[in-house]
Structure 1
Amino acid sequence: MIRLIAQDDDLELSDEQVSKITFWLLEFLPARTCEVSVGPSASIVVPDQDRGLEDLTPGLLRQLETIVGCALIAN
């Protein structure tokens, strides 16, 4: 499982941000689903990711952080 938490506790994601996050994760990870909590305390969970953070490349993480607008912390 991959679980990422927004470093900004007050962050709330828009529908557009959720759509972009979902696209990037499902396009570039071998995953069927992802769950995005819009916030506050926004989080991203990819439950069916067997290898965990191994498949989350630095480039993909940077892309997600750009969409979110803050750092994401693996939890």
Structure 2
Amino acid sequence: MIRLVAQDDTVELSEEQASKITFWLLEFLPARTCEVSVGPGAAIVVPDQDRGPEYLTPGLLSQLEALVGCALRVS
């Protein structure tokens, strides 16, 4: 499982941001589902990912952080 949490616990995502995050993760990870909690304290969970967060490439993580608007931490 991969779980990413916004460093800024006041961040809230729009439905458009959540949809884009879901698209990026499902497009570039071998995953079938993705859960995005819009916040406050936005979180992203990829439950069916057998591998850990080390499989998030720097480019993909950077794209996700740009969509969220702050750094993400693995929890």
Bin for the TM-score computed over the shorter chain = over 0.9
Q: Which residue in 2 is equivalent to 1:65?
A: 65
Residue by residue over 1:9-39, the C-alpha shift from the partner in whole angstroms, topping out at 9 and shown as x without a partner, is: 1100001100100000000000000000000
Alignment-mate amino acid for residue 13 of structure 1: L
Gap runs ≥5 in structure 1: none
> What is the number of equivalent residue pairs in this alignment?
75
Percent identity at matched positions? Answer: 80
In structure 2, stretches of 5+ residues that fail to align are none
| 1:3 and 2:8 are equivalent in the alignment | no
Give the TM-score, by structure 1 length.
0.97
Give every structure 1 segment of 4 or more consecutive aligned residues whose post-TM-superposition deviation is greater than 6 Å. Answer: none
Alpha-carbon deviations, 1:36-61, whole Å to 9, x = none? Answer: 00001100000000011132111100
Structure 2 residue 25 is the aligned partner of structure 1 residue 25: yes
Matches within 5 A, 1:47-58: 47-58=47-58
Provide TM-score, normalisation by structure 2. Answer: 0.97
